[in-house]
Amino acid sequence: MTKGGMNTKLHAVTDTSGRPIRLFITAGQVSDYTGAAALMNNLPEADWLLADRGYDADWFRETLVDKGTTPCIPGRKSRKKTVKYDKRRYKRRNRIERMFGRLKDWRRVATRYDRSPTVFVSAIALATTVIFWL
């Protein structure tokens, strides 16, 4: 993995209130599928999973269905066959976006100050603990 700096993506799983319960970072040039695969093993039981277009893959959808979770993921624009999803439910994804926005209130996280991936994810974990769990 590259440094924890500007070339880093944060993948997160949140509860229904938008509080992060699983975090994973990847290098910026890595596909979102890598983050999805890493978080798949530890997904909590849920009826629905809301995600953005970056996580639209048939294997990801099939894995979710096998676990008993209904995916609510819009299809990529380049997808030949459109995928149906619950648009009304998908609007609730703003909770996840607000979670990322609140994390960015911490300057250290927003500016990706830390160069080491372990220190960077530690700073994110500290911020999430203080913001959402204390």
Per-residue pLDDT tens digits of the chain, which is 134 residues long: 445 556 788 889 999 889 999 888 888 788 888 888 888 887 888 899 999 998 999 999 999 999 999 999 999 888 888 889 999 999 999 999 999 999 999 888 888 788 788 888 899 999 999 999 88
pTM of the predicted model over 0.85: no
Cα distances from 55 to residues 33, 103, 112, 131, in angstroms, run 6, 21, 23, 26
pLDDT value for 4: 53
The 10 Å CB-count burial string (b at 16+, else e) for 95-110 is ebeebeebbeebeebe
Distance from C-alpha of 37 to C-alpha of 64, rounded to nearest angstrom = 11
What is the CATH number assigned to the segment(s) 8-129?
3.30.420
What would the pLDDT profile of 45-68 be if each residue is shown by its tens digit?
889 999 999 899 999 999 999 999
pLDDT value for 126: 92
In the chain, where the domains are located? 8-129
pLDDT value for 115: 79
pLDDT value for 1: 46
pLDDT value for 8: 83
Q: Is the CB of residue 50 less than 8 Å from the CB of residue 96?
A: yes
CA torsion 115→119→122→123, rounded to 10°? -50
